[in-house]
């Protein structure tokens, strides 16, 4: 008969409380649902109840449930672990038994209930006793068993030893966002509901009923989610100091800084914190009046995620790791989450009654950051974490407490926290384990060496008990698991209290950040802390350092395990994050306000949670990088149409847009010509500010020397001259105005030439007309011989006549011999033998008659009372 082996409550943090059954059945063969009371006295009656199920394929006969135990208690806590694993000694004393069925068919169940007076068990004294509950068949074969514990106080509570217990109750989750508006999935939306993990932890820690209904109130208004983010007191002081410095002349401001005449901006810090006359008085926080005092451990990054989810519209990604690398995940647009609003409302009321301590923002891997020269990010995580807690809860976390990642730290991390005023360090036992000679559990307080930074109080560590942490991590959701885990919690604390350690001791119960207990278990451990006679609840902030005489050498010095260093975020991954940081720095460099909107996203990328989530960390880093580059790209040059110059010079407008909705920017515009010899650029406004969502046009003068196409390269830079975009804008410029200008100049020159030559042409025409008229008159006067040749000699050829002398410059024109071409209008310019144009008077004698200087000057100027006329040459004979 194939039956399930024993199911054991394993204490190890990474081991299940119950072993997996050998078969594939989902039902356990034996379940212990109740053990009452959780601590027994001599006059108590022990009752054990549960259920037996036949998980086999055959019917089981004569099923009996019985109890085995030991009359001798455990001697140390290590024996608890050994017994729970099934490898320790097996108790042999028989307790009560009950036959529950003569036949148990497959897949059927029967309830059982066992009881026995404690005095019949013959327990010896105060202590923790092993107890086994098992189901057997008719042949004595074990069908299933559960190993648990029986704490016993003896005759009464008066002589029971005691130990103080301080609770650290976590409200943490892994980073849920990439950039501020993009959630990696919907886990957080489910977690803050009444049935979600953070909802259940809040309700259990409150220890009073909570109202997870929204009601009729405007939660956005009530929680202040629709207003601007509140400034921290430090930011207010800095802003005040900057405004004061800006209101003074530069010399005064400089002088004040140098000689101390100007008031220290930190001197009035009390007023900025609400202590001034004009500041509203801070309302006193309520205090817890019932239940076990606890200290809430919060991750500011988680609170910030919830606040963002409650505040308005946001994106939720689906299947981030399931989509191919070249594809984008599915995005869902969601509005303000009502469950997150209700959770935040209840958290403000509940947490205000207790002490709140906080990790740095998003619980970053501080050791890795400091080892990789990223100390600025480590510093920022503490400052931004404080601001996030104040925004979400409206009050500050206790800055005296430090929560290193995983509860472990080395000296550089210790110095970092100390520099921010921390004096109490919540550590895992791996950071300060008990001394090798210790056989008992040391108190939680442990001294720390003095840090380099002076502190008002002596620093010390509060070390969480690893055994209790392991018990708190036991599974508690399946039937019977919560009962067994509660029994183990009672046993562990009873063993600690019963150790003969001397002096008062404190144990710190601190579950891990991802603690996910069932409501029954979460409520049960707090109730047990108040009900168990050996436990005394203590407030964590009221624990003082241990007495120096009693604390010597009980724990080893501060240690950082090698395995922890090996698990840190790798230098390769942090280098990739630093690449994103360079893009963030470039984006910040153009913002007018001194803000760093992507710093929380970078801190989320540096979280210790990514140590075991490499794929998700890489996908998240890519999302943040895309968001940073997208926001930087919102400050851009809007490409315009190609530019055509219709003249040698012109102006083009460059349109620059700031599409950021919440940030003004100040940028430098750079315009370069592809060829400055062809196209040069004049002076323009290159450094200017643009309001959120606005655009501005910068007018750039251009000057072209040569026609043709040239390109302008336009880019935006920060004040240091670094380009803020990876791609420049190109504007083509086509110069066509130089040809038109040349034609215009030529036309103007032609008009000038025409205007200059017109009077001369008119004078020539007048002289021609006068010469013809004179020639006709002379012919009529001289031609008295009747031969018609005009020479007066009676010869037809005119050879017997006398040549006419040129006219005297001062007198009337003389008669001149007629020319054969006298009637030709082009007689002034005739073609030569070669067809070329001959100048006027080409046939005149080489030595013309002398003329007076006045006449020559008058001829050159074309002025004077009498103008010289060019005389036509005498016709040349051609008859021999």
Q: Is the predicted pLDDT of residue 332 greater than 70, yes or no?
A: yes
Q: What is the overall mean pLDDT for the chain?
A: 81
Euclidean distance between CA atoms 229 and 250, whole angstroms:
31
> Half-sphere exposure of residue 627, counting CA atoms within 13 Å on the CB side?
20
Q: Quick one: pLDDT band at residue 814, thresholds 50, 70, 90?
A: very low
Nearest to 204 by CA among 318, 346, 367: 346
Average pLDDT estimate for 198-223:
91
Q: Is the predicted pLDDT of residue 838 greater than 90, yes or no?
A: no
Q: Quick one: pLDDT band at residue 741, thresholds 50, 70, 90?
A: low
Q: Is the predicted pLDDT of residue 324 greater than 80, yes or no?
A: no
Query: What was the pLDDT predicted at 879?
Result: 40
Query: What was the pLDDT predicted at 289?
Result: 79
Q: Which helix (H) or strand (E) holds 764?
A: helix 737-782
Residue carrying the six token digits 């071409």: 821
Q: Is the predicted pLDDT of residue 257 greater than 90, yes or no?
A: no
Q: Quick one: pLDDT band at residue 282, thresholds 50, 70, 90?
A: low
Mutual orientation of helices 375-393 and 338-351 as an angle, nearest 10°?
A: 90
Nearest to 80 by CA among 636, 617, 484: 484
Residue carrying the six token digits 């036309």: 747
* Distance between start and end Cα atoms, the chain: 162
Q: Quick one: pLDDT band at residue 758, thresholds 50, 70, 90?
A: confident
Average pLDDT estimate for 322-328:
75
Neighbours of 469 (CB within 10 A): 20
Q: Quick one: pLDDT band at residue 228, thresholds 50, 70, 90?
A: low
The pLDDT tens digits of the residues spanning 625-679 come to: 999 999 999 999 999 889 988 888 899 999 999 999 999 999 999 999 999 888 9
Query: What was the pLDDT predicted at 130?
Result: 95
From the number of C-beta atoms within 10 Å of its C-beta (0-12, 13-18, 19+), residue 365 rates as buried
Euclidean distance between CA atoms 60 and 63, whole angstroms:
7
Query: What was the pLDDT predicted at 405?
Result: 95
Query: What was the pLDDT predicted at 464?
Result: 97
The pLDDT tens digits of the residues spanning 532-549 come to: 999 999 999 999 987 766
Query: What was the pLDDT predicted at 783?
Result: 54
Query: What was the pLDDT predicted at 305?
Result: 97
From the number of C-beta atoms within 10 Å of its C-beta (0-12, 13-18, 19+), residue 749 rates as exposed
Query: What was the pLDDT predicted at 327?
Result: 77
- Distances 591 to 230, 529, 534, 629, 736 between C-alpha atoms, Å: 20, 53, 60, 14, 41
The pLDDT tens digits of the residues spanning 709-735 come to: 899 999 999 999 999 988 889 999 998
How much of the chain, in percent, has pLDDT values that exceed 70?
A: 77
Measure CA 236 to chain center: 23
Q: Is the predicted pLDDT of residue 295 greater than 90, yes or no?
A: yes
């Amino acid at each position: 008969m194939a039956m399930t082996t024993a199911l054991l409550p394993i204490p190890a943090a990474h081991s299940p409380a119950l072993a997996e059954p050998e078969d594939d059945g989902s039902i356990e063969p034996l379940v212990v649902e109740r053990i009452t009371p959780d601590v027994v006295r001599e006059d108590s009656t022990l009752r054990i109840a549960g259920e037996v199920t036949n998980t086999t394929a055959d019917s089981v006969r004569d099923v009996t449930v019985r109890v085995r135990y030991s009359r001798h208690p455990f001697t140390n806590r290590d024996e608890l672990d050994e017994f729970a694993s099934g490898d320790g000694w097996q108790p042999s004393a028989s307790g009560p038994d009950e036959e529950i069925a003569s036949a148990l068919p497959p897949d059927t169940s029967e309830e059982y209930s066992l009881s026995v007076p404690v005095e019949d068990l013959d327990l010896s004294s105060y202590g923790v006793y092993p107890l086994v509950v098992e189901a057997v068949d008719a042949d004595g074969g074990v069908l299933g068993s559960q190993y648990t514990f029986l704490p016993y106080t003896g005759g009464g509570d008066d002589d029971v030893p005691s130990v103080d217990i301080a609770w650290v109750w976590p409200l943490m989750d892994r980073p849920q966002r990439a950039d501020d508006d993009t959630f990696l999935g919907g886990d957080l939306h489910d977690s803050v509901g009444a049935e979600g993990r953070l909802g259940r932890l809040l309700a259990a820690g409150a220890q009073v009923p909570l109202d997870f209904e929204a009601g009729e109130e405007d939660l956005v208004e009530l929680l202040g989610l629709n207003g601007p983010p509140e400034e921290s007191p430090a930011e207010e002081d800095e802003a005040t100091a900057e405004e004061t410095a800006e209101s003074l002349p530069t010399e005064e401001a400089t002088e004040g800084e140098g000689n101390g005449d100007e008031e220290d901006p930190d001197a009035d810090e009390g007023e900025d914190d609400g202590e001034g006359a004009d500041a509203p008085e801070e309302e006193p926080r309520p205090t817890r009046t019932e239940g076990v005092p606890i200290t809430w451990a919060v991750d500011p990054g988680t609170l910030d995620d919830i606040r963002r989810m409650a505040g308005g519209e946001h994106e939720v990604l689906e299947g981030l790791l399931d989509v191919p690398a070249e594809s984008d995940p599915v995005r869902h647009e969601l509005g303000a989450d009502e469950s997150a609003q209700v959770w935040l409302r209840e958290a403000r009321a509940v947490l205000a009654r207790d002490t709140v301590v906080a990790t740095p923002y998003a619980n970053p891997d501080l050791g890795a950051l400091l080892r990789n020269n990223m100390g600025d990010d480590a510093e920022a995580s503490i400052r931004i974490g404080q601001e996030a807690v104040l925004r979400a809860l409206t009050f500050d976390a206790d800055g005296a407490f430090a929560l290193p990642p995983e509860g472990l730290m080395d000296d550089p991390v210790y110095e970092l926290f100390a520099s921010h005023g921390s004096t109490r360090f919540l550590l895992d036992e791996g950071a300060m384990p008990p001394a090798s000679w210790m056989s008992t559990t040391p108190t939680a307080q442990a001294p720390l060496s003095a840090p380099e930074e002076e502190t008002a109080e002596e620093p010390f560590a509060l070390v969480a008990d690893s055994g209790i942490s392991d018990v708190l991590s036991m599974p508690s959701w399946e039937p019977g698991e919560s009962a067994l885990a509660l029994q183990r919690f009672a046993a562990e604390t009873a063993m600690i209290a019963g150790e003969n350690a001397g002096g008062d001791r404190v144990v710190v119960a601190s579950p891990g950040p991802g603690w996910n207990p069932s409501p029954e278990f979460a409520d049960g451990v707090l109730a047990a802390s108040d009900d168990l006679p050996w436990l005394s609840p203590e407030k964590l902030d009221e624990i003082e350092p241990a007495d120096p005489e009693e604390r010597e050498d009980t724990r080893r010095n501060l240690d950082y395990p090698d395995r922890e260093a090996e698990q840190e975020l790798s230098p390769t991954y942090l280098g990739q994050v630093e690449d994103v940081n360079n893009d963030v720095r470039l984006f910040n460099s153009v913002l007018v306000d001194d803000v760093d909107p992507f710093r929380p996203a970078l801190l989320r990328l540096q979280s210790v949670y990514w140590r075991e989530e490499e794929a998700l960390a890489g996908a998240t880093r890519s999302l943040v990088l895309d968001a940073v580059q997208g926001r930087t790209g919102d400050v851009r040059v809007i490409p315009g149409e190609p530019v055509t110059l219709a003249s040698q010079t012109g102006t083009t407008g460059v349109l620059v847009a700031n599409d950021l909705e919440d940030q003004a920017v100040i940028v430098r515009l750079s315009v370069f010509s592809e060829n400055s010899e062809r196209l040069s650029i004049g002076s323009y406004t290159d450094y200017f500010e643009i309001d959120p969502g606005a655009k501005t046009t910068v007018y750039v003068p251009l000057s072209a020397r040569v026609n043709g196409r040239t390109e302008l390269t336009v880019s935006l830079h920060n004040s240091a001259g670094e380009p803020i975009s990876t791609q420049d804008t190109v504007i083509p410029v086509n110069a066509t105005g130089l040809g038109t200008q040349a034609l215009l100049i030529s036309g103007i020159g032609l008009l000038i030439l025409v205007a200059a030559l017109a009077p001369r042409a008119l004078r020539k025409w007048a002289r021609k007309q006068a010469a013809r008229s004179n020639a006709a008159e002379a012919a009529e006067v001289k031609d008295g011989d009747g031969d018609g040749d005009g020479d007066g000699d009676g010869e037809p050829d005119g050879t017997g006549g006398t040549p006419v002398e040129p006219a005297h410059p001062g007198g009337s024109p003389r008669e001149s011999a007629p020319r054969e071409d006298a009637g030709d209008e082009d007689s002034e310019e005739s073609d030569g033998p070669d067809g070329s144009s001959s100048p006027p008077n080409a046939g005149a004698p080489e030595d013309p008659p002398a003329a007076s200087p006045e006449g020559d000057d008058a001829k050159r100027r074309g002025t004077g009372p009498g103008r010289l006329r060019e005389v036509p040459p005498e016709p040349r004979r051609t008859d021999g």
